[in-house]
Every structure is written in C-alpha cells, then in structure tokens.
Amino acid sequence: MEKKRYYTFNEHLREKFGEKVFKVSLDAGFTCPNRDGTLGWGGCAYCSERGSGDFAGEHGSPIEDQFAVVTERMKRKWPATKYLAYFQAYTNTYAPVERLREVYEKALAEENVVGISISTRPDCLAEDVLAYLEELNRRTYLWVELGLQSIHDHTMERMGRGHNYAQFCQGLEQLRSRGIRVCAHIILGLPGEVREDMMETARAVAKMPLQGIKIHLLHLLSGTPLAEIYKSHPFELMTKEDYVSLVVDILELLPAEMIIHRLTGDGPPADLIGPLWSRKKWEVLNALDAELRRRDTWQGKFSF
C-alpha cells in the first residue's frame, strides 16, 4: 500500500508491535461530572447519550463479555491479531482508583492485549489516579486521550465542557511529567467558530508536548443539547470540501512525529442529523489523501 503523507496510528502500531493492532472499544459503566450534577447534567452539548461510546461494548456488561463480543467480530476478518483495550465511553478516570484498577486489569489480562487506551477529561486526574496511570505506563503500552476540542474558552463554555483551556494544559503537564503518552481530541465545526479559530487551536496543539491527536468533525446528533439549539437557532455545518481543506492545513502544521490517531469520526447513523456526507468515512479519508497529493504536501511541512 502507498505510504500515507501523515503519520498514522496504524503505521505507528505496526512499527512498535510488528503486526496489525486493533482497538477494542469498551464501556466500563462510568459517568461524567458533566452528567451526574457535579458540573452539569446531560453531558457536553454535542455528546451522545452513550458518552461518545456509541460503538463500544454493551453498557453494564462485564468487561470480559464485552471483549469477547467485540473481538469475535474482528476475528472473522482478521483471525490473528493483537489488541488495545480502549476505554472510550464517558470519562474513564472518573471513579475511585480501586474501581479503575479492577476494570483496567481485567482488560489487560485478556489474550493478545498489548496495551490500553483511556479516554478522559483533563479535570478528572486525581493524584491517586495519576499514580496508578504512572504505574500502568511502566508495565504496559498506555495512552491517555484528553478532550480539548478547542482552545477558546468561550467555545468551551458554550458547549458546556465544564473546564477551560488552562485546565487542559494542567492535565497535560500532569501526565507528561510522568512520561505518559497523551493524545488530544479536537473538534472542527463547533458552532460560533470560524476557520481562523480552528487554526488557532491547531497552532496551539502543534506546540504542545503531545504524542498524538484525534481530529473530529462535529456530528450533530439527535437527542443532544446541541440538536435542541439547532432547532431554534440553526447554524452552518461544515461541507466536505471545507473540512478536507482545513484538515490538510492542520496536518501541515503538526510535527511530523505526532501520531495521527484519527482524521474523521463516526456518528451513529440512526442519530446523525448532519453533516450527512460524514457517513461515507472512506470517501472522506480518500479525499484527504487526494488533497495532500494535489498540493504535494505532507504532515509537518510547515511545523517548526
């Protein structure tokens, strides 16, 4: 296959483990301070009822059962492979450390699991949790995925994130000081943001001590607070052309060694209000490759 013009997570994992490695999305049954009343109710404005874990295992099901169900589907196409246990749904450090240890260790004990990826918020990193993550990092392959979405506090407030940019930077520093790999999530197309706002986020991210990034398109999903806002105050959703152009602009700024975990995302088809073009994920990825070739450009071309 032709080598991508950006450093994919797949390429990185093949370099490290010598073979294909898949993420197994799991739902540990946690919640979020934006849902339990600590900071708010109902989650972030754009977040689905499953807490962004729409493609994870069954909520409330034992970790072992979830792992078996998800990997069985994978084995039909890839009979021999390795796995990363991916705790995706809700906030996966928002629980007593004893509970975290219980679920993480069960996942790591599964056959052919070579590491773990934990998605969380930067304001949910208690000292005992950080100590446990540091321990995990010494004995397994670990990623912590931190939601940033935007560096603009007015956007964060409007989307009901419940934390600000400074708190993200603090959480990042706490993890990096312990040598833990961090992947930041950003969202393109948040209401109220123009292209320059998104590029400012990208420029800031490019200078951070991050090892990875996930670039998401805003998915407008039914049943979310943002869908209710859209009904009364419609806002413009990104076109595929604008999204592709913007992502390539961002890739040019990112350091060549920063691992690209994702360049677009999936919204549950039954709940997706828009943009509907995002349902054809491979067409979006192919369009990004084509635009990189058309410009004869690559990740890191303008990084410094």
Q: Tell me: the pLDDT tens digits for 105-158?
A: 999 999 999 999 999 999 999 999 999 999 999 999 999 999 999 999 999 999
**Where is average pLDDT lowest: 23-32, 43-52, 70-79, 230-239?**
43-52
Using alpha carbons, select from 60, 59, 57 the residue that is nearest to residue 71. Answer: 57
The answer to whether 227 and 266 are in contact (CB under 8 A) is no
Mean pLDDT for the chain?
92
Cα 91 to Cα 15: distance, rounded to the nearest angstrom: 29
Q: What is the mean pLDDT of residues 240-256?
A: 98
Largest CA distance in the chain: 52
Q: How confident is the model at residue 53 (pLDDT cuts 50, 70, 90)?
A: very low
Cα 204 to Cα 253: distance, rounded to the nearest angstrom: 10
Give pLDDT, residue 50: 54
Q: How confident is the model at residue 2 (pLDDT cuts 50, 70, 90)?
A: low
- Taking only Cα atoms into account, the Rg of the chain, rounded to an integer number of angstroms, comes to 19
Q: How confident is the model at residue 79 (pLDDT cuts 50, 70, 90)?
A: confident
Using alpha carbons, select from 250, 252, 245 the residue that is nearest to residue 297. Answer: 252
Helix (H) or strand (E) holding 24: strand 21-26
The answer to whether 159 and 190 are in contact (CB under 8 A) is yes
Give pLDDT, residue 47: 83
The answer to whether 26 and 59 are in contact (CB under 8 A) is no
Q: What are 162's two structure tokens?
A: 């419940």
Q: What are 34's two structure tokens?
A: 């934006």
Cα 288 to Cα 243: distance, rounded to the nearest angstrom: 9
Length of the chain: 304
Cα 69 to Cα 42: distance, rounded to the nearest angstrom: 28
Whether omega before 225 lies within 30 degrees of 0, making that bond cis, reads no
Cα 247 to Cα 251: distance, rounded to the nearest angstrom: 6
Helix (H, G, I), strand (E, B) or coil at 87: strand
